[in-house]
């Protein structure tokens, strides 16, 4: 399992050809408690930078972007009943989508945990 981060404050946990995507703790703190999460449907093919979800808090609505190219395999079913799970555990049970990587070489352009910590400092 390898963890990557984006400048848009998404995290990407890679296990083989599958990736799980969510928002970082930093992003969750900035947004506040989420009240709504809408994701792309399974089977949707996305390119890096395309929206894969929309999250809405009492403060703002934000798009969540695909860090790399892939196909949406699943979304977190718990979020339809409990969108605040993203706020309370953003880098764990609050994951947003799972997808299959189309181009694993794109991972080289993402940050590791140390680089992300320096980025938000």
CATH number of the structural domain spanning residue 66: 2.40.50.100
Query: What phi and psi, each to the nearest 5 degrees, are found at residue 60?
Result: -165, 165
Range of the domain at 53: 2-104
Q: Is residue 63 part of a domain?
A: yes
**One pLDDT digit (tens) per residue for the chain, 121 residues:** 799 999 999 999 999 999 999 999 999 999 988 999 999 999 999 999 999 999 999 888 899 999 999 999 999 999 999 999 998 999 999 999 999 999 999 999 999 999 999 999 9
Joined together, the tokens standing for residue 55 give: 């999250």
Q: Is residue 88 part of a domain?
A: yes
Q: Which residue has the tokens 């963890």?
A: 3
Q: Is residue 119 part of a domain?
A: no
Tell me how crowded residue 8 is: count the other CB atoms within 10 A of its CB: 14
Q: Is residue 120 part of a domain?
A: no
Domain count, the chain: 1
Q: Is residue 115 part of a domain?
A: no
Q: Residue 119: which H helix or E strand, with range?
A: helix 113-120
Q: Is residue 90 part of a domain?
A: yes
Q: Is residue 121 part of a domain?
A: no
């Amino acid at each position: 399992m390898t963890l990557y981060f984006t400048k848009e404050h998404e995290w990407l946990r890679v296990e083989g050809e599958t990736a799980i995507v969510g928002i970082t703790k930093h992003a969750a703190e900035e947004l506040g408690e989420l009240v709504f999460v809408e994701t792309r449907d399974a089977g949707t093919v996305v390119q890096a930078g395309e929206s894969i979800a929309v999250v809405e808090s009492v403060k703002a609505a934000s798009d969540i972007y695909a860090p790399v190219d892939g196909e949406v395999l699943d979304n977190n079913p718990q979020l339809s009943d409990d969108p605040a799970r993203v706020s309370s555990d953003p880098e764990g049970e609050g994951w947003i989508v799972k997808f299959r990587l189309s181009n694993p070489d794109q991972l080289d352009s993402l940050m590791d945990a140390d680089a992300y910590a320096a980025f938000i400092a």
